[in-house]
Structure 1
Amino acid sequence: MTLTLTVSDEVRTLAPGFTHVTIEAYDLVNGPSTDVTSALLDDAARRLAVRLDGRAPHEDPHMVAWRAAYTAFGAKPSRTRNSAEALAKRALADGGLPRINALVDVYNAISVAHLIPVGGEDLDHIKGGMRLVRAAGDEDFVTMAGGERAVEHPEPGEVVWRDDEGVTCRRWNWRQGPRTRLTEASVNAIFLLEGMGPDAGLAAAGAELAELLEKVSPGARVTVHEPVG
C-alpha cells in the first residue's frame, strides 16, 4: 500500500518555498513511552537549546518563514503556532515535553531537535489520499471537546490536511484530529516532515527519524521518500 499525497496549486502559490518529506512505515510495534524515548525527548531539548543559543523559538529563521506562511492564509502565528514552534516552547519550559507513546515521542523528538513540523498519521484510518489544500470552509473536522465528539469547520482559505472523510489537521500542522493520530494500537503509519525553504534540513531529519523508527520498532518496514518541493 502506497498512500497518495498531494499539495494543491493554491497552497504552492501561497507558500512557494514549501517542501516535505514522507516516511512510510509498516509492521510497527507501538506502546507506552519508554526510558529510551524519554531520553530522546530530553536530548532533543538540549539540541534545540544549542541551536537557538538564547533566542526564542519564533526568532529562528525557519520559524520566521513558517510564521509568514501562517500569516499569508490569515492565521495569527503568535496565537496558533505551527507544531514545531509550539513543541519547542514546551521543550524549553519547566516540565519539558510530554510523553505520549513511543512512536509519538520519537517524531516529537525529531521535530524539536531539528525545529521542523513533524506529524504522524495512522495509515489504517486514512480514507483515500491525503491532500494539502485551502479549505472551502464546509469541511468537517472531528475533534473532542469536554470528552465528547465535536465537529468543527475550518475558516475559508485556511490551509488544512484532509482525506476523503474530512480534515485531519487544521491550520496546516497546528492541531491534528483524533481520528488518524497514532495510538498504542497503530501498526502502519505515515510520517510527514514539513519545511519552508531549501535550508529546512528535511533530508537529515528524515534519515534520523527512519533510523529511530527501526530502533524502537525492530522489524518495521520503513521507506523514506525524497524531499518534494
Structure 2
Amino acid sequence: MPDVRSLEDFLARARVDPAVFDLRPDYRALLVAVDDITPAALDARSEALVRRAGDVARELLDSRPVEQLPHVAAWREAYRAFGAKPQRTRNSLEALMSRAAGGLPRVNAITDIYNAISVIHQVPLGGEDRDRYTGAPRLVRSHADEPFDTVAEGRDVTEHPAAGEVVWCDDAGVTCRRWNWRQARRTLLHEDTSKALFILDALDPMTTLALEAAAEDLLHHLGPGVVASQRLLAAP
C-alpha cells in the first residue's frame, strides 16, 4: 500500500543549489511525488484535456507570438543567464506552445495529461518515473562531467552538459538538461508507470498560488485514487 511518509521522505531530500537561486532569486520549483497511478484509467481523461489545451493555446497565440507570452519570455531570460540560446533550445513550455495550436503530440496518457496541464496553466512541467530514480532530485549548475543518456541520429548516446548549465540530477546522472529543456531517457514516464515525480517550474510573473493551482489540476486529472505529497523549493 502506498505510504505518504515515503513520498515525504523522498521530497525532503530534494534540493536546489544556491548557485541556481543566484541566477534567478524568483525561481520556485513545486515537486509533486505521486504513487498508485493507474495508467489504463487515464485515456479518456487525457484525450479531453489535450483537446482543451489546444483550444487554450490557440486563444493565447491569437494575439501575440509565443515568445511574448509572459512566462515564456521569463524563461527565455533565464536561459540566457546561463549561456543557453533560447532560439535553439526552447524551454519546455515554449516548445509545447509552438506545437499545441496544431495539436499536442501524443506519447502516453500520463505524459499527455501533464503536457496539457503545462499548456493550460502556462508552466514548464516535467514528469519522471520515480522507480527509475537513484537517490533524490537536485537542481544544480553542471560541472560538465555528469552523464546524460539520450538519442542522437537514432542511436543511444551519453552526452555531458556544458559547464555552468542548469540541470536536474539524481545520483546516477542528469535527469533533465537546461533546467526544463530535455529529459533523460532513463527516467521517462512510460505506459506502466505507477510512481511518478512531477516538477513544476515558476519564475515571475507566475505566482506561487498559480503554481499550486496547476499542481492541484494535475492531481485532479490523475484521478482520485492517487497518493501524493508536495514540496515547494524556493530561495531563502
Give the whole-Å Cα distance in 2 for the aligned partners of 1:227 and 1:106. Answer: 23
Q: Is 2:148–2:160's contact at 8 Å kept on the other side of the alignment?
A: yes
Tell me which of 213, 218, 228 is aligned to 1:222. Answer: 228
2:193 counterpart residue number: 186
Give the whole-Å Cα distance in 2 for the aligned partners of 1:50 and 1:5. Answer: 36
Matched, 1:22 2:31: yes
Give the whole-Å Cα distance in 1 for the aligned partners of 2:76 and 2:179. Answer: 12
Instruction: Give TM-score scaled by structure 2 length.
Output: 0.89
Question: Which AA in structure 2 matches 1:129?
Answer: A
Tell me which of 152, 164, 183 is aligned to 1:176. Answer: 183
Question: Which AA in structure 2 matches 1:81?
Answer: R
Give the whole-Å Cα distance in 1 for the aligned partners of 2:71 and 2:116. Answer: 17
User: Which moved further from structure 2: 142-151 or 176-185?
Assistant: 142-151
Give the whole-Å Cα distance in 2 for the aligned partners of 1:198 and 1:55. Answer: 17
Corresponding residue SS for 2:216: helix
Give the whole-Å Cα distance in 1 for the aligned partners of 2:38 and 2:185. Answer: 19
Q: Is 1:44–1:113's contact at 8 Å kept on the other side of the alignment?
A: yes
**CA deviation profile, 1:118-156 (whole Å, cap 9, x unmatched):** 001111111111110110111110112344321001001
Structure 1's unaligned 5+ residue stretches are none
Corresponding residue SS for 1:183: coil
Give the whole-Å Cα distance in 2 for the aligned partners of 1:166 and 1:19. Answer: 22
Matched, 1:209 2:218: yes
**CA deviation profile, 1:8-55 (whole Å, cap 9, x unmatched):** 000000111111212111011224973431221110121233344421
Matched, 1:120 2:127: yes
Q: Is 1:33–1:105's contact at 8 Å kept on the other side of the alignment?
A: no
Question: Which AA in structure 2 matches 1:67?
Answer: R
Question: Which AA in structure 2 matches 1:224?
Answer: Q
Give the whole-Å Cα distance in 2 for the aligned partners of 1:199 and 1:160. Answer: 21
**CA deviation profile, 1:101-124 (whole Å, cap 9, x unmatched):** 111011001001111100011111
Matched, 1:148 2:155: yes
The alignment-based identity, stated in percent, is 45
Corresponding residue SS for 1:225: strand
Corresponding residue SS for 2:39: coil
Q: Is 1:158–1:171's contact at 8 Å kept on the other side of the alignment?
A: yes
Q: CA deviation at 1:196?
A: 0.4
Q: Is 1:207–1:224's contact at 8 Å kept on the other side of the alignment?
A: no
Corresponding residue SS for 1:199: coil
1:75 counterpart residue number: 84
Give the whole-Å Cα distance in 2 for the aligned partners of 1:49 and 1:226. Answer: 31
Give the whole-Å Cα distance in 1 for the aligned partners of 2:120 and 2:57. Answer: 5
Corresponding residue SS for 2:77: helix
Give the whole-Å Cα distance in 2 for the aligned partners of 1:152 and 1:227. Answer: 28
Number of matched residues? 224
**CA deviation profile, 1:176-225 (whole Å, cap 9, x unmatched):** 011001001211111111110253421111111111111xxx52212333
The structure where helix makes up a greater share of residues is 2
Matched, 1:107 2:114: yes
Q: Is 1:23–1:223's contact at 8 Å kept on the other side of the alignment?
A: yes
* Cα root mean square deviation, aligned: 1.8
Instruction: Give TM-score scaled by structure 1 length.
Output: 0.91
Q: Is 1:30–1:185's contact at 8 Å kept on the other side of the alignment?
A: yes
2:43 counterpart residue number: 34
User: Which moved further from structure 2: 19-28 or 194-203?
Assistant: 194-203
Matched, 1:87 2:93: no
Corresponding residue SS for 1:186: coil
